[in-house]
Amino acid sequence: MSEYSRLTVENLAKIDTVPSQTHGRRQSVVTSTSHQSSELMQLRRASRFDGSGPQPGGRRLSTLSRGSLAGIHMMHRASRGDALLAARLPKNFQNTYKMTPDPGERFNASRVEKSISSLLASYLEGVQYNPITCAQLSQTLTEAVKGRVKDMNFPRYKFVCSVIVGQNTGQGLYVASRSIWDAGTDNYATAAYSNATLFAVAMVFATYFE
């Protein structure tokens, strides 16, 4: 029978005095492993967040700085792109609901007729009729008449201009036009010029843009 087979007070006292080497050794191993794991976790956390990793020179901090500068540059480029896009987009204006021109801004037919009469005289005085050059001259006079009327500043008016240039042989000529418009706001003006070889008739139709 074993020495400790009897459960006596003396045997129990001997069992308590036996050193537990296995238990103590296992505890020391677990404690060492836990300590190494905690140190490794702390090292990884430090290198990930505060740049104090094992590599010298603060490489983590320099990487974060480059990332911040790149982000600022991208934001600056995005803001410039938004500004250019806004400049290219068409602007939408609200309706003014104006149905008639303001006082003093209505189309003045007599004033326009005087202006385009002087314009025709300045262009055609001393000019000889030529069927080739007068075709281009008619287009030039049309643009000149339209520019002259626009410079007279009639707000919210649209203009249609036409100039006829022909040979003067003493014949009769009638020029007619037809349109649908508002007689209260729309109007027209005409002017004619002639010399020994040619004649010109200028017409301006003004329609109010509601």
Q: 96: pLDDT confidence band, cut at 50, 70 and 90?
A: confident
Please, what is the end-to-end C-alpha distance for the chain in angstroms? 124
CA distances from 167 to 91, 134, 175, 195 (A): 48, 9, 15, 10
DSSP letter for 12, please: H
Tokens linked to 163: 């100039």
Burial 81-106 (b: 16+ CB within 10 A, else e): eeeeeeeeeeeeeeeeeeeebeeeeb
Write the CB contacts of 204 (distance below 8 Å, at least 6 apart in sequence). 112, 116, 145, 146, 149, 159, 160, 161, 188, 189, 190
What single-letter amino acid sits at 118? S
- pLDDT score of 209: 87
List the domains of the chain with CATH numbers: 9-86 (no CATH), 109-208 (3.30.1140.40)
Indicate the pTM of the whole model.
Answer: 0.55
Q: At 157, give phi and psi (nearest 5°).
A: -110, 140
* Rounded distance between C-alpha atoms, residue 53 and residue 40, angstroms: 11
- Contact at 8 Å (CB) between 181 and 134? no
- pLDDT score of 163: 97
Taking only the tens place, the pLDDT of each residue in 9-60 is 566 666 555 555 444 455 444 444 555 556 556 655 555 544 445 555 555 5
